[in-house]
Structure 1
Amino acid sequence: MRSISARPDPLDAVQRLARIVPPAARLWPATALLVGDTLAGIGFAAGISGAVVQVAAGWGALLPWVVLVVAAGMVRGGCALLAARIGAEAAQRTKRGVRAALVTDLLARAPGGRATTGTLLATCVDEVEALDGYVARFLPARSAGALAPLLVLAVTAIASPIAAAILGITLIPFVAAMILAGGAAAEESRRQFGALSRLSGLFADRIRALPILLAFGGEQREAERLGTASDDVALRTMRVLRVAFLSSASLEFFAALSVALVAVYAGFNLLGLLPFPVPEKLDLARAFFVLALAPEFYLPMRRLAAAYHDKQAAQTAVERFPDVLFAPPGVTVAALAPETAPRITLTDVAIAYPGSDAPAIANVSIDIAPCEIVAVVGPSGSGKSSLLHLLLGLAPLSAGRVTIDGVDLGAEISLAAASAWVGQTPLIIPATLRANIALAWPTATADEIEQAALRAGLGPMLAARGLDAPIDARGGGLSGGEIRRIALARALLKPSAVLLLDEPTAHLDQAGEAALVETIRAACRGSTTLIATHSAVLAAIADRIVSLEPRA
């Protein structure tokens, strides 16, 4: 199932973040814990002030205040730990959901486009990872930063209105410094993130092409290119750190200034040395209490300032996500899953890819009866693969009509769930033979996987290596025929009424092709089968052959 929707209106980064961070990740438990940390800080300040006053009275009077200090410290540690854990779990859920949506969008894209494999990989890994700090740290810190200072200010006002006024006045330049620092850091962060994304994409693409680079002696040139990109990232990262250090220094200055002013006021008030009259006279307990509370007033905002870079990184990342992630729910695509082999009818079908001057195929009409085997032949470029991709939803239907047992195949109907597919270049993952075959049907039992492997002609391989034989990502140690038989075993494992084969015998020698053709002949029984091939030997097993001509 996938969702089709109209292109959404342009959204700014804040709106995009609001769309992809689900309500469950608003982190009210983490916010509550951070506010609880502030309340425990108030208790800690009360314990300190009470202990100072009772020092001369002996352990009997001092002990309750010491217990309060220790208990408050333990509560603060527990609140911080639980808030971090809740934030991390919410961030993990958010990243998992965004990555799933990104992969779904990438798989549904039409072939072509300007994005490289490395760029797409960087989007799904690095750019999604930038959401971690935003969800785990910034969101709870922002909510707590709006409430916790007010609590501290209110409690301080009860003990000393003048001290509370000092804290409130010094808050103005503190907020101004945060705004200026955030504005200065935003653009530098955006540039640094863009450079990091380019480096990640370039590195992934070069790793993918490493055998070609080594074969043609291009490793030195590409190493220099990667070095240049790396230096660019390092330069931009230092600019971000420079802004971060300056902003941090300014924030710490105003926070320290407020504590110093409260300390000076409390001390002079106690000594009666204030050069101006005030409507209050502090005792030792109240003076120590407001002095201990002063750092607590700025702690939530300092925590927010420390996480502000996470917000900038997340905003920069979501600007690079495709618009489809921020669209409202659209039309649900129904999955056709006929229990028996269906009739597939193509009438005057045309496929034109975006940006292409000519259609891949045009005016193609084929009527495939249930359980019939049809071979599609033609020279390279005639559109054989595109025809199969159309049935899987991987190619656009530009004109004409496709029906499955009379049901139109289009934007709201997909045949992929009912199809078994063997492509030109079978995917091999770094895992066991068992895991590679089970890609088609993860819930299959061990016996079902083994039977599919035997039906695909992998008996000699099973006898020699077993289903748990390790396979690397490039299929090292496997012949071309074995790789194609693994792909065929996947198709046989999946319960399906339609079998789509794209050049399944390409690049095999005569003996290997003949053996695989017999396996394919047996696999086609009971399924409506469409085979794209250049091979006359494979085409000979078909009930009918359809020839395509290349488009000009």
Structure 2
Amino acid sequence: MTTAPADPPPTDHRARQGRRRAWLEEASAPGRHWIRAATGLLLLDAAAGAGFAAALGGAVQTATDALQIPGQPLAQGRLAGWIVLGLVCAVSRGIAGREGELCGNRASIEVRVRLRARLSRALLARTDRRPDDAATLGTTITALAGGVDSLDGYVSRLLPARKAAVPAQMLVLLATALGSWVSALLLLGTLLPFALIMALAGGAAADEARQQFDALARLSGLFADRIRKLPLILAARAERRQAALLGRASADLHRRTMRVLRLAFLSSAGLEFFAALSVALVAMYCGFSLLGLLPFRSPEPLTLGRAVFVLALAPEFFAPMRRLAAAYHDERAAEAAADRMAPLAEPSPVLAAATHAPLAAPPHLRFEAVSVLYPGCDRPALDGLEMDVRPGEMVALLGASGTGKSSAIKLLLGLAPLAGGEVWIDDAPLSGLGDIAACASWMGQDSFLIPASVSENIALSRRDASLDEIRAAANAAGLEWDGAGAVLLDRQLDERGGGLSGGERRRIALARALLKPSALLLLDEPTAHLDPDTEAALIGTIRAAARGRTTIVATHSAALAASADRIVRLHAA
């Protein structure tokens, strides 16, 4: 078991927080124009709110003045003007709110579509993770689905609210000060505990959101792994045990989700309390001042119209902060998702380098004290390998299971991490290239199949191959059922290769490797699961395919090893 890392020092935490926010800002860049539009509409909403409060106060003051002077006709023109202003501001607020929400949604859609495409491209290009790692698979699934969707509230609500919060509040505070500077000071004084609660709740929400995302990744990984292993689970009659395991993971996710919701509820209640307290203080001041019941001399002349104006503006002062607080948990969820998405979104420079620099001739490979150590393992899978493979030579790696034969091949493909030593491809170090997967023909132990025909599965290594070339590779691998080859090549397969034997699946993988004309041929157990007669026929095919190529074959077969130019025996690390 691995132990949890110690808490990082504050400086590291701040640095990670800065990198995380920088990554989120970069990811949100495609929706920047819509975010600006949403921010402008929020400011328009604040201005319209101030205008509506002014219209309400003006209408009340006009009606009061008319009633206080006997015989004075009601200033109908002025009152009508205030009413029209109020209606215009109310309609403007409705339009600004609706259009602002639409702009935020458009920004979110654009950002999520671009980010999901970016993640997909980066994940398809990466070769530095094992495809059978359930934790990695769960993180990948969660990042592409829940992780990307976690940016919805961050982009559509939080970013516009954050950019508009300070200008909108200053606008409302300035308008309040014009009506009553004492009320403006009261509002400003209650802002400090409001902001303090937001900061405290945000820090706690960050930890809970990160743990919730981890629980979701674990559940996704478990579910994906059990779906892949469903035939084995059914054969072992382990359905109930695996269902119970998934149930516990689901319950853990439920508990963590409820913690996030509970924290959001408590923080919202605290914020609403201080917002209501500030409005109540302003109301008490205005009421006692108008009634002359203040225990001290009123520091300012306050009319009924001004009091109504200030009271109508007081809730508007906290409206930007309420919007920001409502979306504050969206920011924490986005930051938790960013911790997982940022490493996955990093482009792989390796395939690009290999694609632009193909191997024009059979390469010279030199392994100098090479070690491979997989993450989470205590012992190296390969330790201190010394091997020299001359150009055009066929070398067989022979040894028991666990001696690192497959790891030596995976190292060249970028599927295993180089922990020590160096591999030289001609005069270039592998640590500088990363891998040479794009320049190699490769057959792995797992015969990867897609739901398509046999010919399409073979053509995965070379999409521009003609049907005659595919048929020739299938013939060389011993795949034909009849002379024409139509019966086998047109057969439709599912992702598990249902109806094919283990040997037939391996022959499809071998045909795929033979179809790709490259100067480097890497074969991992190419004759496994084959009967002796088929193996003998296939050895001749492999030997013919190795001519003019640098070839490394990992095998348990003494017969296949004997056909190689040289045998390198590996022993357990």
- Whether TM exceeds 0.5 here: the answer is yes
User: Is 1:550 paired with 2:571?
Assistant: yes
Are 1:456 and 1:486, in contact at CA under 8 Å, matched by a contact in 2?
no
- Identify which of 461, 480, 487 aligns with 2:502: 480
Are 1:40 and 1:75, in contact at CA under 8 Å, matched by a contact in 2?
yes
Are 1:38 and 1:296, in contact at CA under 8 Å, matched by a contact in 2?
no
**Counterpart residue type for residue 151 of structure 2:** D
Structure 1 segment 449-488 matched on structure 2, within 5 A: 450-457=467-474, 463-464=486-487, 471-488=493-510
**Counterpart residue type for residue 118 of structure 1:** A
Q: Name the counterpart of 1:121.
A: 137
The CA deviation at 1:348 is: 5.6
Q: Name the counterpart of 2:413.
A: 392
TM-score normalised by the chain length of structure 2: 0.75
Structure 1 segment 84-483 matched on structure 2, within 5 A: 84-94=105-115, 97=118, 107-108=127-128, 117-126=133-142, 129-130=146-147, 132-133=151-152, 135-136=154-155, 137-262=157-282, 275=294, 277-282=298-303, 284=305, 289-317=309-337, 334-335=353-354, 337-346=357-366, 349-353=369-373, 360=382, 362=384, 364-370=386-392, 372-395=393-416, 402-404=423-425, 406-413=426-433, 414-430=435-451, 436-437=457-458, 439-441=460-462, 444-445=463-464, 448=465, 450-457=467-474, 463-464=486-487, 471-483=493-505
**Counterpart residue type for residue 546 of structure 1:** I
Distance 1:175 1:49 in 2: 27
Q: Are the structure 2 counterparts of residues 265 and 146 from structure 1 closer, same or farther at C-alpha, using a change threshold of 3 Å? A: same
Q: Name the counterpart of 1:6.
A: none
Q: Name the counterpart of 2:100.
A: 79
The CA deviation at 1:72 is: 3.8
**Counterpart residue type for residue 421 of structure 1:** W
**Counterpart residue type for residue 270 of structure 2:** S
Are 1:456 and 1:485, in contact at CA under 8 Å, matched by a contact in 2?
no
- Identify which of 51, 56, 61 aligns with 1:46: 51
Are 2:414 and 2:436, in contact at CA under 8 Å, matched by a contact in 1?
yes
Are 1:378 and 1:384, in contact at CA under 8 Å, matched by a contact in 2?
yes
C-alpha distance after superposition, 1:436-483 (max 9, x if no partner): 455435xx34xx26445323316769734876x654332223343443
C-alpha distance after superposition, 1:135-184 (max 9, x if no partner): 42444433333332122222332344344233223323322332343355
Using the aligned pairs only, state the percent identity.
Answer: 44
Distance 1:383 1:241 in 2: 48
- SS in structure 2 of the partner of residue 531 of structure 1: strand
Are 1:138 and 1:304, in contact at CA under 8 Å, matched by a contact in 2?
yes
**Counterpart residue type for residue 39 of structure 2:** L
Distance 2:82 2:383 in 1: 92
User: Structure 2 stretches of 5 or more lacking a match?
Assistant: 1-10, 64-75
- SS in structure 2 of the partner of residue 311 of structure 1: helix
The CA deviation at 1:82 is: 0.7
Distance 2:226 2:350 in 1: 39
Are 2:50 and 2:172, in contact at CA under 8 Å, matched by a contact in 1?
no
Distance 2:46 2:378 in 1: 65
User: Structure 1 stretches of 5 or more lacking a match?
Assistant: 1-8
Distance 1:339 1:120 in 2: 31
Are 1:333 and 1:412, in contact at CA under 8 Å, matched by a contact in 2?
no
Are 1:166 and 1:262, in contact at CA under 8 Å, matched by a contact in 2?
yes
Q: Are the structure 2 counterparts of residues 329 and 251 from structure 1 closer, same or farther at C-alpha, using a change threshold of 3 Å? A: same
Q: Are the structure 2 counterparts of residues 348 and 152 from structure 1 closer, same or farther at C-alpha, using a change threshold of 3 Å? A: closer
The CA deviation at 1:308 is: 2.2
Are 1:350 and 1:364, in contact at CA under 8 Å, matched by a contact in 2?
yes
Are 2:55 and 2:86, in contact at CA under 8 Å, matched by a contact in 1?
yes
Distance 2:237 2:571 in 1: 36
Q: Are the structure 2 counterparts of residues 516 and 71 from structure 1 closer, same or farther at C-alpha, using a change threshold of 3 Å? A: farther
Distance 1:338 1:179 in 2: 54
C-alpha distance after superposition, 1:418-443 (max 9, x if no partner): 112111112224456576455435xx
Distance 2:170 2:542 in 1: 74
The CA deviation at 1:252 is: 1.9
Are 1:20 and 1:98, in contact at CA under 8 Å, matched by a contact in 2?
no
Distance 2:222 2:89 in 1: 57
- SS in structure 2 of the partner of residue 546 of structure 1: strand
Distance 1:18 1:386 in 2: 38
Q: Are the structure 2 counterparts of residues 498 and 77 from structure 1 closer, same or farther at C-alpha, using a change threshold of 3 Å? A: same
Are 2:122 and 2:345, in contact at CA under 8 Å, matched by a contact in 1?
no
Distance 2:133 2:541 in 1: 34
C-alpha distance after superposition, 1:392-438 (max 9, x if no partner): 3444667776443x314331134322112111112224456576455
Q: Are the structure 2 counterparts of residues 257 and 368 from structure 1 closer, same or farther at C-alpha, using a change threshold of 3 Å? A: same
- Identify which of 20, 24, 29 aligns with 1:17: 20
Q: Name the counterpart of 2:521.
A: 499
Are 2:43 and 2:167, in contact at CA under 8 Å, matched by a contact in 1?
no
Q: Are the structure 2 counterparts of residues 383 and 188 from structure 1 closer, same or farther at C-alpha, using a change threshold of 3 Å? A: closer
**Counterpart residue type for residue 135 of structure 2:** T
The CA deviation at 1:195 is: 4.1
The CA deviation at 1:41 is: 3.4
**Counterpart residue type for residue 528 of structure 1:** T
Q: Are the structure 2 counterparts of residues 139 and 101 from structure 1 closer, same or farther at C-alpha, using a change threshold of 3 Å? A: farther
The CA deviation at 1:301 is: 1.3
Deviates more, 1:337-346 or 1:327-336: 327-336
Q: Are the structure 2 counterparts of residues 529 and 187 from structure 1 closer, same or farther at C-alpha, using a change threshold of 3 Å? A: closer
Q: Are the structure 2 counterparts of residues 393 and 180 from structure 1 closer, same or farther at C-alpha, using a change threshold of 3 Å? A: closer
- SS in structure 2 of the partner of residue 454 of structure 1: helix
Distance 1:295 1:470 in 2: 66
Distance 1:214 1:329 in 2: 38
Q: Are the structure 2 counterparts of residues 345 and 68 from structure 1 closer, same or farther at C-alpha, using a change threshold of 3 Å? A: closer
Distance 2:386 2:48 in 1: 79
Q: Name the counterpart of 1:3.
A: none
Q: Name the counterpart of 2:67.
A: none
Distance 2:201 2:378 in 1: 47
Q: Are the structure 2 counterparts of residues 453 and 231 from structure 1 closer, same or farther at C-alpha, using a change threshold of 3 Å? A: same
